[in-house]
Copies of this chain bind each other. A is one copy, B any other.
Amino acid sequence: MQDFLSIHPEVAAALKAGKAVVALESTVISHGLPYPANVETANALEAAIRAEGAVPATIAVLDGRIRVGLDADDIERLAQPGVRKVSRRDLPVALAQGADGATTVAATMIGAALAGIAVFATGGIGGVHRGVETTLDISADLEELAATDVAVVCAGAKAILDLPRTLEYLETKGVPVIGFATDRFPAFYTASLPLPVDGRCDTADEVARVLRAKWQLGLGGGVVIGVPIPDDAALDAEAVEAAIAQAVGEADAQGVRGKALTPFLLKRMEELTGGASLAANRALLLNNARVGARIAVAYAQQKG
């Protein structure tokens, strides 16, 4: 395994000592945010995690290895154009070809689990796409959540998705969806969705106890921790929905699909909201990193 996996010494030392570690993904760097906001945000996320007393471990594929924990120059390199997007299915090819790759939620969960990291903070998970009855387009993130023992702290699923059907899929797969200080599933840019979560936890300590119960009993797979976007950063729900409808319609009309779909939609959202979606995205990423770090600290304390 050492051929294809490399854990940063600081991260390895923290894990060995039973300290709190929080994984971060790299698709947000390479495909989620424009330059230089992507580099600034990646560094701010790491700093926010450190400020809460945990060690950040941004995960990516570099030179055909899964790297768990990056340095500043690695992040800069991932922010350049041309880095491929790597999900579970892409990992073997990227590793065999010695390539660089930005890891999706699914591939980041894999790297985190291989390293022994229990908590991962991101913006929003992938899910069931609108129009799935025609396309069968469902993100591999959902299957990863069913299989891999990592808690994913997020603002729900990406707003461009079909949220009710994403929650049904997670229910079928037995994945707990926890609301962090909320009874409702966060809707990424807004906190107003009427869909209920499976359970509510009001503190990081409560979340950590849920994780401990799940994995101690041998119930494999991940957990979704839905954290609403902070009030002062939330967008207007109707305006968001209108922009999404327009962006989805354009993608459909232009035949954009597959790996290109999510980046296309995120970019159009930014344009259609006059940059407001970008600001909201950064705010929720930072908030999730902080909450993730608190959960990781609580989890490390309970384990010890």
Contact = CB atoms under 8 A, between A and B. Distances in A.
Interface of A: 1, 3-5, 66, 87-93, 95-97, 106, 110, 114, 128, 132-140, 142-144, 146, 164-165, 168-178, 196, 198-199, 201, 206, 209-214, 216-219, 223, 258
Most chain B CB within 10 A, of A89, A137, A213, is at A89
Given A4-B217, A218-B1, A176 B93 contact: yes
B93 A135 contact: no
B213 A96 contact: yes
At the interface, is chain A mostly helix, strand, loop or mixed?
Answer: helix
Given A132-B136, A137-B168, A165-B135, A176 B217 contact: no
Contacts of A66: 217
A172 B258 contact: no
Given A89-B170, A139-B172, 15 more contacts: A1-B216, A1-B218, A3-B213, A89-B171, A89-B175, A93-B178, A93-B199, A96-B209, A96-B212, A96-B213, A135-B164, A135-B168, A142-B172, A143-B172, A143-B174
A303 to B, nearest CB: 13
Nearest to A170: B89
A212 to B, nearest CB: 7
Contacts of A196: 258
B92 A210 contact: yes
Counting every copy of the chain, the complex holds 3
Contacts of A214: 91-92, 95
A110 B219 contact: yes
Counting from the closest, the 6 A-B pairs by CB-CB distance are: A88-B174, A93-B199, A92-B214, A95-B213, A96-B209, A136-B168
B168 A91 contact: no
Given A140-B174, A143-B173, A173-B140, A91 B135 contact: no
A138 B172 contact: yes
A201 B223 CA distance: 36
A133 B133 contact: yes
Given A143-B172, A143-B174, A174-B87, A211 B92 contact: yes
A219 B146 CA distance: 15
A50 B96 CA distance: 28
A169 B138 CA distance: 8
Contacts of A3: 213, 216
Most chain B CB within 10 A, of A132, A143, A173, A174, is at A174
Contact of A171 (B140, B144, B165, B175): B140
A282 to B, nearest CB: 29
A43 to B, nearest CB: 28
B142 A92 contact: no
A206 to B, nearest CB: 7
Contacts of A89: 170-171, 174-177, 198
A89 B172 CA distance: 9
